[in-house]
């Protein structure tokens, strides 16, 4: 067993040893966990109105919490050997506190709801790969919130926690985030994919047809340089595209009402083709990706329910081509990995996942194909100079309390 996995599974003992709780005077210790996640389709969609095919994964963060006799808040990252501290009166975001800020966010939420919080000890440990686009920071927040909810015997329903965490991100961390990762963390089910509607906050569970297949996540190790600025520009492009398309439809009287609260869901690919002269080419391509990706997510849902692997393969590979050619968030290394996977008999599909410009691909393949897939990675390192990391994942359950007391 790896040291990281050992610390995660034995987090109760690690917590007691860190805070010297062996005499039981400060027990009980509540332990909760929250999973990482992977998006298979849809993550580069319309802001605030995306449609996602995703799942939680069998890698998680655990948070242990217990009550102190004083008013201090103590934080210990067992994997890093790092310690942070503050008090409830001085509870605020500090850049140097890094991972501890995500636990402090959960404290901020329950304190703001009026729950009696004094001194608390926290320990965090997990096995979600870092900087790989697997929502590890969200998992810390969710695990901390679930642990605090159990410790405080809070009546706040789990279905309300995603909205509370989104508000907390704005109030405490000063940033606007999507609720999608929180919806995945609280609604995930083992061996199920999730269809997540960001617009309605709805989540539908679809049974995975891949029980005899493997899902491999491959971290290309390509450093993301300037990705945030590039993504910001693309979001601006698609907003302009939506505005221009909406004006065009208003002009042709195809849009009902005053045209407010419009979404790319109101348009079809033919609308983009008809607008080739009206939209700047780059904006048209970005917008076309959004419209077609919405369609691909709904088609993938149907294919999963039918167990139609050939259709799933077509949808996923076309999605990657769209990310490469229309939205332009891929890179040569990622494209090479997807193309090599596509050439191997026994591979169902492969695609980039995450913010792009490097990062990860996922590949769904027959178990007998894994050896050949991994062999191809030797060529990748020789050609590009990056040593890839491969993780086997599977759709997993959502956040839960592991133990109380």
- pLDDT tens, residue by residue, 27-69: 668 999 999 999 999 999 888 899 999 999 999 999 999 999 8
Q: How far is residue 199 CA from its own chain's centroid?
A: 17
Tell me, yes or no, if the pTM score tops 0.95.
no
* Nearest CA among 110, 178, 184, 186 for reference residue 148: 110
Q: How far apart are CA 404 and CA 123, in angstroms?
A: 15
- Please provide residue 174's backbone torsions phi and psi, each rounded to the nearest 5 degrees: 70, 35
**Is it true that domain 3-207+396-404 has CATH number 3.30.230.10?**
yes
Domain residue spans of the chain: 3-207+396-404
> In this structure, are residues 121 and 19 in contact, taking their beta carbons and an 8 Å threshold?
yes
* Residue 226 banded pLDDT, cuts 50, 70, 90: confident
| pLDDT value of position 275 | 64
pLDDT in tens, 340-380: 999 999 999 999 999 999 999 999 999 999 999 999 888 99
Q: Are 206 and 194 in contact (CB under 8 A)?
A: yes
Catalytic residue among 27, 48, 79, 181: 181
The residue among 266 and 98 whose pLDDT is bigger is 98
Task: Tell me what pLDDT residue 254 has.
Answer: 44
CA separation for the pair 229, 247 (Å, rounded): 27
pLDDT tens digits along 143-161: 999 999 999 999 988 889 9
Catalytic residue status for 181: yes
Name the nearest CA neighbour of 286 among 248, 330, 245, 235. Answer: 235
Chain-centre distance for alpha carbon 54: 8
Say what the pLDDT of residue 255 is. Answer: 44
**pLDDT score at 257:** 38
**Per-residue pLDDT tens over the stretch 276-329:** 567 788 998 999 999 999 999 999 999 999 999 999 999 999 999 999 999 999
């Amino acid at each position: 067993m790896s040291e990281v996995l050992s610390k995660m599974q034995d987090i109760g003992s690690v917590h007691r040893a860190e805070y010297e709780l062996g005499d039981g005077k400060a027990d009980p210790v509540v332990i909760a966990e929250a999973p990482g996640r992977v998006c298979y389709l849809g993550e580069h969609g319309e802001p605030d109105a995306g449609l996602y095919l995703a799942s939680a994964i069998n890698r998680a963060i655990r948070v242990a919490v217990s009550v102190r006799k004083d008013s201090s808040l103590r934080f210990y990252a067992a994997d890093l050997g790092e310690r942070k501290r503050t008090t409830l009166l001085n509870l605020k975001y500090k850049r140097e506190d890094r991972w501890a800020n995500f636990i402090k966010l959960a404290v901020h939420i329950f304190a703001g709801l009026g729950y009696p919080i004094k001194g608390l000890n926290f320990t965090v440990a997990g096995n979600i790969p870092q900087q790989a686009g697997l929502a590890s920071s969200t998992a810390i927040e969710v695990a901390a919130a679930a642990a605090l909810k159990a410790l405080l015997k809070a009546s706040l329903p789990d279905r309300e926690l995603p909205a509370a965490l989104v508000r907390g991100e704005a109030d405490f961390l000063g940033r606007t985030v999507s609720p999608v990762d929180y919806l995945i963390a609280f609604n995930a089910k083992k061996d199920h994919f999730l269809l997540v509607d960001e617009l309605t906050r709805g989540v539908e569970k679809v049974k995975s047809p891949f029980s005899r297949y493997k899902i491999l996540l491959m971290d290309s190790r390509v450093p993301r340089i300037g990705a945030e600025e590039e993504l910001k520009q693309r979001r601006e492009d698609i907003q302009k595209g939506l505005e221009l398309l909406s004006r065009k439809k208003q002009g042709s009287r195809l849009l009902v009402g005053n045209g407010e609260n419009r979404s790319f869901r109101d348009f079809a690919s033919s609308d983009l083709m008809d607008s080739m002269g009206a939209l700047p080419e780059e904006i048209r391509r970005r917008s076309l990706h959004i419209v077609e990706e919405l369609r691909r997510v709904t088609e993938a849902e149907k294919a999963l329910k039918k167990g139609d692997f050939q259709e799933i393969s077509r949808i996923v590979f076309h999605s990657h081509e769209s990310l490469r050619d229309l939205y332009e968030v891929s890179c040569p290394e990622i494209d090479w990995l997807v193309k090599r996977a596509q050439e191997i008999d026994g591979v169902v599909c492969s695609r980039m996942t995450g913010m792009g410009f490097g990062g990860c691909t996922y590949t769904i393949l027959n178990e007998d194909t894994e050896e050949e897939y991994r062999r191809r990675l030797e060529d990748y390192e020789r050609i590009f100079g990056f040593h890839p990391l491969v993780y086997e994942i599977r759709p997993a359950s959502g956040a839960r309390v592991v133990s109380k007391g």
